[in-house]
Structure 1
Amino acid sequence: MQAVVFDGPFNIVVKERPKPVIIDPTDAILKVEIAGICGSELHMYRGHQETTTGHIMGHEFVGVIESVGSGVQRFKVGQKVMSIFSPMCMQCWFCQHGYTNRCVNGIPFGTKLLDGGQSEYVRVPYADSTLEFIPPEVPDEMMIIMCDIFPTGYYGAMKATLEESVIVCLGCGPVGLCAVMTAVVLGVGTVYAVDSVEDRLEAAREMGAKTLKLGTDDIPAIIKSVTDGRGADAIVESVGNKSGMRLAVDLVRPCGVISSIGFHQSDLPYTGLEAYSKNLDINMGRAAVRPVFGESLKVFADNLDKFSSFITHRIPLSEAPKGYEVFEKHQARKVILLL
């Protein structure tokens, strides 16, 4: 089969790879029809994430079930499904307590430990809990957004939502825009969106946020002026780098909330004393998608019109290297690969 393979920083290639087979009874094999390129993959693409080479990329995909293991009960051959970005066993202590983001058996797709779905076929472990049906009111290609970025943005905004609050969403990439829309829909008092790319800021404005541009606006001064000097009640940080987290700590008020869903790769740019002195409530890390999937899907489906221009590039799998290039250069909001 044809597959998109990571061969090193800025080196994505399409290669022939063996078609996957059922290994465990809980597996399913999908024939992939649509795959997405996610912003978190740019960390690997840019060489910022420590990893090996040779694995198949991709953790956002929609397809048709080609075969299932003997232990799969929810799904049958021929059904159209989408996949959550990381398998979940639903049997370990963490899954049983709602922390599916920390499943001890859940290895994210598109890593050196589990090949991803930017390929003609993909093996899905724990299919019963990792796959989901596609509701009739949502087009197949839009369900790519539900594989990772919308539930993650929803999770980040949900953790930061306070009544009559001022929330600042740092980063207006795909996940950041999903957080912006969630905060607006959940009725936050005022939502500010921060980025340096004008196209992204325009998208945030269309979703109902007030926008601030990095390098142009005096963001700390503006946030202080609209909060009587306190600072923002909550920050959703989706950038995943030191400057983004530093700005989050600077902008948030004492006893405020920082919800960081960015894929951080380095040490943190603030001290324990700073966090202590502000009594910060900091929630960091991978989103627990399974517990919020149903409620986030409803919000997404009810607001599909706001995502009409979200997918900007639809290209064949064979042109995946070009897709990574334009996405890395901020020339695309969302890139999907068609098979």
Structure 2
Amino acid sequence: MGKASADGGAVLRNGSLLRRRRWNQNKPLLVMFLPVAAFFLLFKYAPMLGLAIAFKDYNFADGIWGSPWVGFANYEYLFNNPKTLNIIRNTLVLSALTVFVGFPFPVVLAILLNEVRRAWFKKWVQTLVFLPHFLNWVIVGGLVLMVFALESGFVNNALHALTGQKFPFLFHETSWIAIFVGSGIWKGAGWAAIIYLAALTSIDPSLYEAANMDGANKWKQLWNITIPGIQPTIVLMFILNIGNVMDVGFDQVYVLQNPVVVNVGEVISTWNFKVGLGAGQFSNATAMGLFESLIGLVLVLTVNQIARKFGRGLW
């Protein structure tokens, strides 16, 4: 009995020493994590207290907590307004097109870059496709206007030289949507491809050697080795992108938007800017923002649940 007690005490002491050693080893990492934790607490979680504005008739004089409580009156106003439903529809359509049309491009780009064998050529191509990510949307919008402008745009000048006519690309709803999606792909595909390039490096090169010896061509190697090898990364990125379906982004839409295409170009973020900051309707803007976040959360949970059925869930 005494021996068992002594052994138990030794186990406890060893466990305590192990935890203390692990704590000492991880101290530098914890110190490095503190600024990150402070950032999220101050700028991500603390502002959530302001969501109470969505259920109040907010005014500056009374403040957040002093403003009168109105319950779901702001939501009744929003969803009884036909313009609000159109804005939600525009947000969903543009976001869905951005996700489902734009999502494959970084994957394809990463696979193509991975197949390049000349280092100098690969570096030049990577630089060219990564560069647009570092350009502000104001600059990108200026480039789009320079290319597709009705009177002086490069495309319309070429079209006029060939057919004698010009087309209002930026003032036609269908072509505006195509330009919106295309400019987003051009700006973001190169940067997003970095993640897939990193995933491709984890694939064992011996798999390609064995497939080559068995007579598999590049296409078969792609479908049987490359795609399965980066499939977890693809699923992970797809789930994260689905979470942003209700968040088209403010900069791109605001820069490319014009009054002629407002019927398809007005989205939640630009509406919140105009109504919240422009007209001072903070309660309505906050209510719409909360609705947008809740829809994004539901979409993430739904897609993750579907992915779990195939063993590829995020959690």
TM over 0.5: no
Greater per-residue strand proportion:
1
Tell me: higher relative CO, structure 1 or 2? Use CA pairs within 8 A at least 6 residues apart: 2
Normalization by structure 2: what TM-score?
0.25
Normalization by structure 1: what TM-score?
0.24
Greater per-residue helix proportion:
2
Q: Which has the larger radius of gyration?
A: 2
